[in-house]
Chains A and B, each alone.
Chain A
Amino acid sequence: MSFLIGHYNYWIVIFLMMTGLYVVIAHGNLVKKIVGLNIFQASVFILFISMGKVEGGSAPIVTEGITLYSNPVPHVLILTAIVVSVATTALALALVVRINEAYHSVEEDEIHEQDQSF
């Protein structure tokens, strides 16, 4: 039982990661796929951030009387990864806009049909 509760952050991460990947694979709508990709990436952010937590540790700001701090490095890394993720989402959305202009659809099977027809 303590194994289940003690690792609750990992269960959340695994659940989100699988949800995200499932949406990416199962959905035919190009915008929904991007949502799935974002959920997948968010799960990795949580994995990193929860890893920086030190039990009993305070926020990593130097204050008198505190000796134990949480590890700030994973947070900083994830700030960068979030920026990357935002850029990826923006690019993906821009692509979808242009796909919509070219095919008049954002459904995968309809686009596929149009490409097959010629």
Chain B
Amino acid sequence: MITQHLPILQVIIPLLAAPLCLLASDRRVAWAVSLAASWAAFLIAALLLDQTLKLGVITYALGGWSVPWGIEYRVDNVNALVLLIVTAVSSAVLTFARRSVVKELPSARVHLFYALYVLCLGGLLGITVTGDAFNLFVFMEISALASYALIALSEERRALTASYQYLFMGTIGATFILIGIGLLYMMTGTLNIQDLSQRLPAVAASHTVETAFAFITVGISIKIALMPLHLWLPNAYTYAPSVVTAFIAATATKVAFYVLLRFMFTIFGVSFAFKNMPLSIIFMALALTAIFAGSTAAIFQDNVKRMLAYSSVAQIGYMILGISLASATGLTAAILHLFNHALMKGALFLALGCVCYRLGVANIEQMRGLGRGMPWTMAAFVIGGLSLVGVPLTVGFISKWYLVVGALEQGWWPLAVAVLLTSLLTLIYVWRVVEAAYFQTPVAARADDVREAPRSMLLPTWALIIANLYFGIDTRLTVDVASQAARQLLGLSG
């Protein structure tokens, strides 16, 4: 039956759509193909999540080669949730892309954009679904190479240097992960993630495993853009085309974060990562630095894309903070924030995409009085911004709530206070945009010719905004899956 093959279809459909887009060499056909592939992937991800919730872990032997000879695909609650959010955001962004891309890219490159986009999507889904450490590296490079090229598609010449910088940091990060995987293979003789997790405790005392741990942690931290390894992120997000920023900001760092969860909890295990190694204290220090420095840097940016990029650095800090608690609640908060932050940043960057579509730039200066010209876009931005701050009834509140509860559980109330205080920093930079858009006189030169963005762009933006509100009110799905996933990662029953 076809339902047995869902794990491989999840990856293969976007991967096959990429050459089709290239061959079509017509932007409408390429858009249709990639859109169909993305929505199909979303449907498959929803089916997979449904199956894992009902039947537990799904395993799939690639090409019929059973473990340990072949590559195993393995879907549990953790990656099913990541698959769902990645495909959901990707589908919304692609729906949005049609008008935006024509405006921002040279017309000869538009079909290339769609080919690269689905290639990147296929790579990200591959990373998430695979149960093989080396396969994970290969998919990581597929998605990374595609995203470097996506960023360089922009007409802004600084996108080229941003992409070049990202390529170097990304490649060094991926190679570090490769070194770590090689050292693990040296000690255990396997690349399968399940086998690794079973065989590692026996050899955990060796320096080789500790070295592997260090390489993998640093490598993934570059991919996640954890402060101080975030240097590639602000430029890449600022100068990439709007749709690319929305897609990468909402998915790439989230998938890298999933890889971190997989390595730290499934492969190395909690006791090795948090008792043998001082991961907890390192991550907590880096996370707090990221939150404070990222939010503060965001306040001083005039380019709103750049502001949100620094905000991403800070939000990644919250996720890492959840991990550093090393408890079920902390981990639940981290996974929830992974899901929720993808929704917030996806929505916010799409709203900015609408602004760029009409204004060509996203500077605070240019956005004065925009609340009148583009009411729906700016309303979306406000709700997304409130979600980023963590106001009740939005998703941002849910993940921060769990983070604060997790901190209090351990008796670390200064940490809970820090989380609440930094939300105020978030409020400041969101407010700067709101103030400009609603309380300042419109830019004179622009007069009243700024119209609302086209409906085909507003609808996907608002779909994500409504998801922000929906999952902020009805938390059954996300919280259940996230807490189950956290317990699975920690090796607790259920």
Interface-facing stretch out of B100-108, B179-187, B354-362: B179-187
A25 to B323, CA, bound (A): 31
Taking CB atoms, residues of chain A closer than 8 Å to B145 are 84, 87-88, 91
CB distance from B157 to the nearest CB of A (A): 4
Q: Known contacts A24-B168, A37-B171, A51-B186; decide if A84 and B160 are in contact (CB<8 Å).
A: no
Which of the four size classes fits the interface of chain B?
A: 20 to 34
Contacts of B363 in A (CB 8 A): none
Q: Is the CB of B179 within 8 A of A92?
A: no
- Mask, A19-62, CB within 8 Å of B = 1, is 00100100000100100010011001001100100000000000
Residue B352 is within 8 A (CB to CB) of chain A in the complex: no
* Cβ B172 vs Cβ A96 within 8 A: no
* B148 in contact (CB, < 8 A): yes
Cβ-closest chain A residue relative to B170? A88
Chain B nearest Cβ from A85, distance in angstroms: 8
How many residues of chain A get a CB closer than 8 Å to chain B's CBs?
A: 29
A88 touching B152 in the complex, CB below 8 Å, given contacts A51-B182, A98-B160: no
Q: B134: CB under 8 A from chain A?
A: yes
Task: Identify B141's interface contact among A21, A88, A96, A111, CB under 8 A.
Answer: A88
**Contact of A30 with B164 in the complex, beta carbons under 8 Å:** yes
What residues of A have a CB within 8 angstroms of the CB of B161 in the complex? 99, 111, 115
Question: How far, in whole Å, are A31 and B178 apart by their CA atoms in the complex?
Answer: 24
CB pair A88 B167 closer than 8 Å: yes
Complex formed: what's the CA distance from A24 to B152 in Å?
Answer: 20
Residues of B close to A40: CB separation below 8 A: 172, 175
A15 beta carbon closer than 8 Å to chain B: no
Chain B residues within 8 Å of A30, by CB: 164
B179→A47 contact, CB < 8 A: yes
- CB pair B164–A96 under 8 Å, yes or no, is yes
A77 surroundings in chain B (CB, below 8 A): 134, 182, 191
Query: B95 at the A/B interface (Cβ < 8 Å)?
Result: no
- Bound-state CA distance A96–B160 (Å) is 8
Q: Which residue of B lies closest to A97 (CB)?
A: B160
In the bound complex, do residue B182 and residue A80 qualify as a contact, i.e. CB atoms below 8 Å apart? no
Which of the residues A41, A91, A115 comes within 8 Å of B149, measured between beta carbons?
A: A91
CB-CB under 8 A for A44 and B168, given A99-B160, A102-B160: no
Would you mind naming 11 contact pairs between A and B with Cβ atoms under 8 Å apart? A37-B168, A37-B172, A47-B179, A48-B182, A73-B185, A81-B178, A84-B141, A88-B167, A91-B149, A99-B157, A102-B157
Q: Which residues of B contact A (CB under 8 A)?
A: 134, 137-138, 141, 145, 148-149, 152, 157-158, 160-161, 163-164, 167-168, 171-172, 175, 178-179, 182, 185-186, 191
New contact pairs (11) apart from A44-B175, A47-B182, A95-B164, CB-CB < 8 Å: A44-B179, A48-B182, A51-B182, A51-B185, A84-B141, A87-B141, A88-B167, A92-B168, A99-B164, A102-B160, A111-B161
